[in-house]
C-alpha cells in the first residue's frame, strides 16, 4: 500500500511538472477534442495534470470535460487516461489510442 501511495505521489509530481512545461500535443480537429480535459482547445500536460487531480479527489470534471478526459473510452476518468495523454505528450506515441 505504501508503494502505491508513493507511486501515486510521484505520478502527480511528474504531471504537475509536465503541466508547468505546457507544450501542446497535436490532436485531430474534432467537435469534441479527446484529451482536452480543461477545454482550452489543446491537448497538453495540463490536461493530464487535471485528470490526475480528479483521480485523487483534488478536482472535479463536469459532463463535457469528463467526456473529453475519457481518452480510453471506458466510461470513466482514471489514471490510465492521464497516462495516455502523457505518453502522447512526451512522444512515446502519436495518438491517444
Rg (CA), the chain: 12
User: Which triple of cell numbers denotes residue 47?
Assistant: 490536461
Helix, strand, coil percentages in the chain from 3-state DSSP, rounded to 5? 50, 0, 45
pLDDT in tens, 76-88: 999 999 999 999 9
Rounded to 5 degrees, what angle do the CA atoms 18, 21, 24 make? Answer: 90
CA 16 from centroid of its chain's CA atoms: 11
**Could you say which architecture CATH assigns to the domain 2-89?**
Orthogonal Bundle (1.10)
Residue 6's pLDDT is what? 76
Q: What would the pLDDT profile of 5-47 be if each residue is shown by its tens digit?
A: 777 767 766 766 666 655 555 555 447 899 999 999 999 999 9
| Residue 25 β-bridge partners | 43
Q: The whole model's pTM is what? A: 0.68
Amino acid at each position: 500500500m505504501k508503494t502505491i501511495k508513493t507511486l501515486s505521489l510521484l505520478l502527480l509530481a511528474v504531471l504537475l511538472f509536465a503541466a508547468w512545461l505546457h507544450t501542446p500535443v497535436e490532436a485531430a480537429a474534432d467537435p469534441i477534442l479527446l484529451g482536452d480535459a480543461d477545454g482550452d482547445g489543446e491537448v497538453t500536460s495540463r490536461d493530464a495534470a487535471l485528470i490526475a487531480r480528479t483521480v485523487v479527489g483534488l478536482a472535479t470534471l463536469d459532463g463535457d470535460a469528463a467526456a473529453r478526459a475519457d481518452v480510453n473510452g471506458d466510461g470513466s476518468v482514471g489514471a490510465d487516461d492521464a497516462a495516455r495523454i502523457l505518453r502522447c505528450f512526451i512522444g512515446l506515441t502519436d495518438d491517444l489510442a
